[in-house]
Amino acid sequence: MELQNALAKFQEHLGATASASGGIPPAGRGQALAFAEGVTTLVVMLAPFAPHLAEELWEMLGHRESIFREVWPVANRALARQETVEVVVQVNGKVRSRQHVPRGTAQDRLQELALTDSRVQPWIGGKAVRKVIVIPDKLVNIVVGS
């Protein structure tokens, strides 16, 4: 379902791009091919659950062989890896903020970002910061006392 939803959004984007330029621009041909590959992959993954429907869709896509002769798709982990991560900022164990930072950001930089965050400031202002616990790419917990 997530792939189908992503393809629907991508199709809307392609439609907006095509109508703005009076057709698919040369730069958009690669996007159209990516969309076609996504649809093909979706139909292949649908086949075990809805074989008759998948076989009909496969034929509509222009394939002559049965969909069950198609190789199961293999994910490319390098393409799926996100460049940014969401780091949760807590004060005394309660979530006070969330920040999107590049993957692998140094611990001292995460600590600095958390301590200067405008959503965290009201919770630590005027209080002594006793400890800052940083779990890279995941969490910053600021422990404060009165």
pLDDT tens track for 36-55: 889 999 999 999 999 999 99
pLDDT the model gives residue 79: 77
Give the 3-state DSSP-derived string for the chain, with helices as H, strands as E and coil as C: CHHHHHHHHHHHHHHHHHHHHCCCCHHHHHHHHHHHHHHHHHHHHHCCCCHHHHHHHHHHCCCCCCHHHCCCCCCCHHHHCCCEEEEEEEECCEEEEEEEEECCCCHHHHHHHHHHCCCCHHHHCCCEEEEEEEECCCEEEEEEEC
Structure token pair of residue 55: 């076989």
Spatial neighbors of 33 by CB under 8 A, at least 6 apart, are none
pLDDT tens track for 62-114: 999 999 999 999 888 887 788 999 999 999 999 999 999 999 999 999 999 99
Residue 17 pLDDT level (bands cut at 50, 70, 90): low
Q: Which domains does the chain have, with CATH numbers?
A: 2-79 (no CATH), 84-145 (3.10.20.590)
125 compared with 133, residue with greater pLDDT = 133
Parallel, antiparallel or unpaired: strands 139-145 and 84-91: parallel
Residue 122 pLDDT level (bands cut at 50, 70, 90): very high
Residue corresponding to tokens 């293999």: 74
Compute and round to an integer the Cα radius of gyration of the chain.
24
For the chain, what percent of residues have pLDDT higher than 90? 64
Strand arrangement of the beta sheet that strand 128-135 belongs to: 94-102, 84-91, 139-145, 128-135
> Does the pLDDT of residue 18 top 60, yes or no?
no
